[in-house]
Structures are given as structure tokens and as C-alpha cells.
Amino acid sequence: MPPKELLLQVTDLCVEFETRDGTAKVLDEVSLELRAGETLGIVGESGCGKSMTALSILRLIPSPPGKITAGRVRLSGTDLLSLDERRMRDIRGKDISMIFQEPMTSLNPVFTVGEQIAESLRLHEGISEKDAAKRAVEILKSVGIPEPEARAESYPHQLSGGMRQRVMIAIALACGPKVIIADEPTTALDVTVQAQIFDLLRDLNQHLQTAIILITHDMGAIAEMTDRVTVMYAGRVVEEGPVEAILEAPRHPYTQGLIACVPQLDPNPGSERPPLEEIPGVVPPLSRLGSGCAFAPRCKHAFARCHDERPERQPVGGDHSAACWLLVEDGTS
């Protein structure tokens, strides 16, 4: 099959924040691509740069103290970093939307959910207030909210967590964007509601060909939802490739550690289960990363070169790549 249209291309994106400890490079030459109808997972521990990547793509990082210092972000050929703020507001919500992690801090508590969906429609589609209200009800119905007419008149605090997240998805979908960024969309939801939200995102992806970036720390969600995976650590992409390759044959020690942390069901009841592994240590302060591999202090395979030189990503077969000196030393790149 011919490759699908390339919608989003992020190239060598760098973002810095000024802190009391000095300048922190929170994104360091991050590159990724997203095609039509594709779901890309971005995975890593808290503080690795997942959400900052999303906010930078949408140009929503607080400035000051943050600023984009280098790189390009192209959406259907348009360089988003070169646009003025007025043009960028036209693109946010219409061509690219974001589902934020916590609906209660993203939804306006003094407006009904129907009004908030209608506002996006009036802003980007230029339709009348009456037509926008009607469309809002239709969109609520499309994301599986029961009694959408009544729910459109509800305020955010009157809805359950799962319903609020569906409202966030409805707002993101209102203007038919090409790309949706879902930032931890099932945080604090119970398992049943999580499954419902993932089913909804999968349906959007398959039937509307909406491209999705799923930001998560949940390797189970990555396995279930994504086509390709980008693994981030300390503001850098350390491994990238098709989901099957990443899960079945991870090449970076950090990716291997993330997968080893996932509890496994025992296929042989009564047998001794292997202990649950963990990655020792914590993500280092981004203002004091040093010149070597940022993961080296936590890596059981690290050797002298890892502490002195930063590895670049190496191809390890097909579309799979990883940034690790072991691949060079072993001759497996």
C-alpha cells in the first residue's frame, strides 16, 4: 500500500526553560512524524518531555520562562513556528486539537458543556449561535454521551469524570481536526471508563481517519492503541519504531526497563512468578544533564563512553531506531 499523507512533522525541536538552577533544556532535538489515520504513542516517565512536546507543537508553552529555541513543526506543510499568534489561534481547535489530562482544570466551570462546544464551532466555522448549539448536541451524541440534549445544558461539575473526558473529546472533535493530541486521556478514570475512552478514540481513528498522538506512561495502552511508538527520556527521543518492534524487541535499556515494570499475568498457575522489576533512580534534573547519555547513571549496562558522549539514534532494522552506545559497541546497528 502507498504511504499515507504525512500530516505532522517535528524536526529537531528544542525548548528551554529558565529556572533558579539555570537553563533547563526540556526538549533536545525531538523529531517525530505522524501520518493520516495513524496513532503514535509517546511514552516515558513523568518529566521526560511528553506533555512539553505536545504543548510546544501547539505553541502553548508559557513564555517566559519557556521558549522554543530551534527546530521546525510542520502541519500539512505549514510551519507552525513561523505563524503569528492570530493565525495560530485559527489552527488550534480546527486543524489540530488537544485533549488535556484533567478536564476539570480545562473546562470552564461557569459555562455549560454545550456552550463550550458551540463556542469552538462559532469561532472556527463561523456558524450561527442556533446552529452551533444544535451541532453541539450532535457531537455529544457522537462521543457516546446519553441524553445529549440534557447533558448539553449541564455544567462540568455535574458530570462524572468519564463524561467530562468525553466532553473534552467532543470539543477536540468539533471542527473535524486532522490531528488530535491526547495527553494522558484516562488519568484518574476507573478501568471500565478507560476502556470506553480508548474504544472511542480507536473508532475516531478508524472511521474518520483522524491521526492521534497518544501521550501516556501506560505500556498497556501503547500496546492496545498505537501503530508506532516514540520513547522519551530527559527531553530526548531514545527509541522509535513500530509498536510490535518496540514491545517484542526493545533495543534501548530504558525501553526494556519500562516494559519490565509492567506486571505480567502468570500463564502457569502455581509456578513461581518472577519478581517485578523496577528502574533504579529517578530522572535527573534537566539543568544538570552533563555531556553523556542522560540514562547512564540508571543503566546497568553503562560503560565509560556512556558517561562521556551522548549517543545519536542508530537504525536497528526497518523503521526502528534507538540511541544507545551498546548498539555501536555490539555492532548491531
CA separation for the pair 297, 115 (Å, rounded): 51
CB 23 within 8 A of CB 233: no
For 79, list phi and psi in degrees, rounded to 5.
-80, 105
**Torsion of Cα atoms, 243 then 241 then 235 then 10, to 10°:** -110
CB 240 within 8 A of CB 320: yes
CB 174 within 8 A of CB 122: no
Read off the pLDDT of each residue in 160-186 and give the average, rounded to a whole number: 89
Burial of 313 (0-12, 13-18, 19+ CB in 10 A): buried
Contacts of 46 (CB under 8 A, 6+ apart): 217, 283
Residue with cell 540514562: 295
Least confident of 26-30, 139-143, 272-276: 272-276
pLDDT of amino acid 186: 81
CA atoms within 13 A on the CB side of 74: 15
Read off the pLDDT of each residue in 28-54 and give the average, rounded to a whole number: 93
318, pLDDT greater than 90: no
Checking DSSP bridges between strand 211-216 and strand 39-43, what pairing results, if any? parallel
CA distances from 288 to 21, 122, 129, 303 (A): 9, 46, 52, 20
82, pLDDT greater than 70: yes
pLDDT of amino acid 255: 95
1, pLDDT greater than 60: no
Residues paired with residue 241 on neighbouring β-strands, in sequence order: 229
User: Nearest CA to 181 among 60, 76, 58?
Assistant: 58
2, pLDDT greater than 60: no
**Torsion of Cα atoms, 234 then 236 then 242 then 247, to 10°:** -20
What would the grid cell of residue 136 be? 453541539
254-294 residue pLDDT tens: 999 999 888 776 656 665 656 678 888 888 888 888 889 99
CB 149 within 8 A of CB 118: no
- Give pTM, 2 decimals: 0.89
pLDDT of amino acid 297: 93
The residue extents of the domains of the chain are: 107-176
92-102 residue pLDDT tens: 989 999 998 77
218, pLDDT greater than 90: no
Residues paired with residue 15 on neighbouring β-strands, in sequence order: 27, 68
Q: Is 135 helix (H, G, I), strand (E, B) or coil?
A: helix
What would the grid cell of residue 263 be? 506486571
Give the count of beta carbons closer than 10 Å to the beta carbon of residue 179. 23
Average pLDDT, the chain: 89
pLDDT of amino acid 197: 84
